[in-house]
Structure 1
Amino acid sequence: MLERLHREGREPGGAVCVIRDDVAEETMVGDRGDGTPWTSDTLVMTYSCGKPMAALAVLSAVAEGALGLDQPVAEAWPAYAANGKGATTVRHLLSHQAGLPLYPEAAAALEYDDREALVELLAGAAPVHEPGTRVAEHALTYGHLCDELLRRTAGEPVDERFARIAAANGWDLHLSVPADQLHRVADVVPVDPTWPQHYLQDPRWGPALGRPPGLLDPVVLNSERWRRTSFAAISLHASARGLARLYADLVPADGPVAELLGPDLHAELLRPQRTGVDGVIGREVTWTLAFQRDDLPGGRSEIGMGGAGGCSGWVSVGSDGTPGYAAAYVTRGLGDHDRGDQVWRALEP
């Protein structure tokens, strides 16, 4: 399927990795944007595929006892209690129930790497709905919420904590790209002539993805400044193999994620937290503490996360809870999810 997309001119560079029974199979096409062929270790920005990585960093601190899943965020971050957010819990935050799916309008005047100013805006913001009552994907805000919570409870930025976890488990995933790895990163390029207007002109997505400005602009996204910035809601740079490996490690009760979190928190990670029409996505979504979960006929499920631009990762889970295959699709072509959907369908048994 990936080769066909490349032949049709719809895939300038990307990769699919599928892991079954711990055996990885990869397909790579195109180049990194400078004529260098796409290879197994090529990294590319994957937008919201990174949100679960930020969540895993926070949950690792929960496992260590630095904070509680049902602890109010304001206990660690007192300013966060402003404007009706005092009862918001860590659980609400991780499962997109906190009611802060977008930055206040003042963020339109801020630089994307002004972390302190963005965090201050979140602390003072009013939620768009009562926390814990609805879902709305925290499109750009998720990573900064996780980051500030971790800094205040575990004394560590979210990208640094996740980098330690990823290195320990062999996941080629980076919420900020180390300087010595920048040479591996592919340049992103629009493949949809309506990019980014189809997001920015949408009444839901425009405010959620448009401020702070520039985060749909390939000139910004291809800069070293951006790649070195931790903006954990969307800044994950991943190889297909690295993303698929994380999903292969996600479900097993004796796997690395279960070892990191412990059995009870691992089970909670995968359990549905709330289902409803997502106020940003605009369709019914079931959120776990970090992932979207789709329940399929026959009792099977898929647990995963996609990102604006088209990248995605997921793992299939049988009716008895055992994992099937894990897969990831990464692309430097910025477009919709049609290409990824075709890849998904091609992988279905």
Structure 2
Amino acid sequence: MHVDPARVLDDLVASGRESGAAVAVVRGGVLEVDHAAGTRDGVEPMTSDTLVMTFSVAKPFAALAFLDAVAEGHLALDQAVASVWPEFAVAGKQGTTMRQLLSHQAGLPTFPEAATGVEYDDRETLVGMLAAAAPAHAPGAGVAEHALTYGHLLDEVLRRATGEPLADRFARIAAAGGWDLHLRVEDRDLDRVASMVDPDGSWRSGYLRDDRWGPALGRPPGLLDPAVLSSARLRRTPFPAVALHASAVALARFYDDVVRPDGAVAGRLGHDLWQAYVSPAVTGHDALLDRPVTWTLGFQLSEDDGIVELGMGGAGGSSAWADPAAGYGAAYVTRQLGGHDRGERVWEAVVARR
């Protein structure tokens, strides 16, 4: 007997394990599941158009904006980063390529320790630190998710090559696709963003105590603090590695499209670049995630019980994915900061509908 994903979500809210969340499934352009439960701020109900800060669910969208510039001829995948960003050519990073940035092989998974004294919206200082930093491994010699650094690296290259910030380019792409996805929230949308909540404080402290995740997510400070995450200041700040504000429906529509050779994403990028976006780029033991990972130029590609999925999860518990064989895209977004146990229950219910 299959369990309805909507019922699973309702049960999570009723049990107190979930404060506010939404699930959506889109198959072949048809919205099959669209359900929200709980509240977006402790009072107002969560709805289908509530935006949620989804952490690393952002990364494929930062990559898409970058690849869009590649498609237009401003950049090439195997071009050296230093060719447009000369200050980057220090400490063994001279040969780092755009492809290595996109696939988490550049050896810059964390901001330097000095970033603990930098404000999260001081983009110029943070970018300067990355330019001067020594990589954790020789570019291309290892893989480690660029947890907070990914977006700043891609953004600075785009600014140098095109004169346009990554968040601005992505806003144009999202508008063209009709996707309610935001790497920077405009004032008109601020009142529909969910506040983030860490009910017992264990989520934030657990990351900061961890030897791997503390440096990766704690520099610069503030991005694990629910008050910061719920502020208009953060919502207005482009931090493209993590600060995607999205609805579940918009994510599901995007993922339903992105794996289709005749979809809007493939049409925008062109066949070869689209293939590079959704196909394996590197497989190895990810030093930050501490497990084997296959990265494309933006996504994780995984296989579980013979089911191949393309997707990305975020530290707070949100996730979005596509199942190309079954022909659907799906997403679960949550405002309650925690692990992926709730999302796994929703995922199981969605997969059972294949």
TM-score of the pair, normalised by structure 2: 0.95
Cα deviation digits, residues 218-267 of structure 1 (max 9, x gap): 11111111100000111100001111111011011110110110001011
Moved more, 17-26 or 52-61: 17-26
What is the correspondence of 1:121-136 to structure 2 with a 5 Å cutoff?
A: 121-136=129-144
The structure 2 residue matched to 1:5, chosen from 6, 9, 12, is 12
Asked if the contact 2:25–2:330 (Cα under 8 Å) also holds between the matched residues in 1, the reply is yes
Counterpart CA distance in 1 for 2:181 and 2:11 is: 27
Asked if the contact 2:150–2:241 (Cα under 8 Å) also holds between the matched residues in 1, the reply is yes
The structure 2 residue matched to 1:88, chosen from 89, 96, 118, is 96
Correspondence 1:250 to 2:253 = no
Distance 1:51 1:192, change over 3 A: farther
Q: What is the aligned partner in structure 2 of residue 286 from structure 1?
A: 294
Partner SS for 2:116: helix
Structure 1 runs of 4+ aligned residues shifted over 3 Å read none
Partner SS for 2:151: helix
Q: Offset at 1:83?
A: 0.4
Partner SS for 2:266: helix
Identity score, percent: 60
For structure 1, the residue ranges without an aligned partner over 5 or more in a row are: none
What is the correspondence of 1:1-349 to structure 2 with a 5 Å cutoff?
A: 1-24=8-31, 25-191=33-199, 193-298=201-306, 300-318=307-325, 324-349=327-352
Q: Which amino acid aligns with 1:46?
A: T
Q: Offset at 1:54?
A: 0.5
**Paired positions, count:** 344
Cα deviation digits, residues 100-120 of structure 1 (max 9, x gap): 000001101100000000000
Cα deviation digits, residues 192-223 of structure 1 (max 9, x gap): 54121111111110100011001000111111
Asked if the contact 1:191–1:335 (Cα under 8 Å) also holds between the matched residues in 2, the reply is no
Q: Offset at 1:268?
A: 1.0
Q: Offset at 1:34?
A: 4.5
Q: Offset at 1:39?
A: 1.0
Cα deviation digits, residues 10-54 of structure 1 (max 9, x gap): 111010001123221211101111411111110010000001110
Asked if the contact 2:28–2:256 (Cα under 8 Å) also holds between the matched residues in 1, the reply is no
Partner SS for 2:89: helix
Cα deviation digits, residues 132-184 of structure 1 (max 9, x gap): 12110000000100110110111110111000000000110000100111011
For structure 2, the residue ranges without an aligned partner over 5 or more in a row are: 1-7
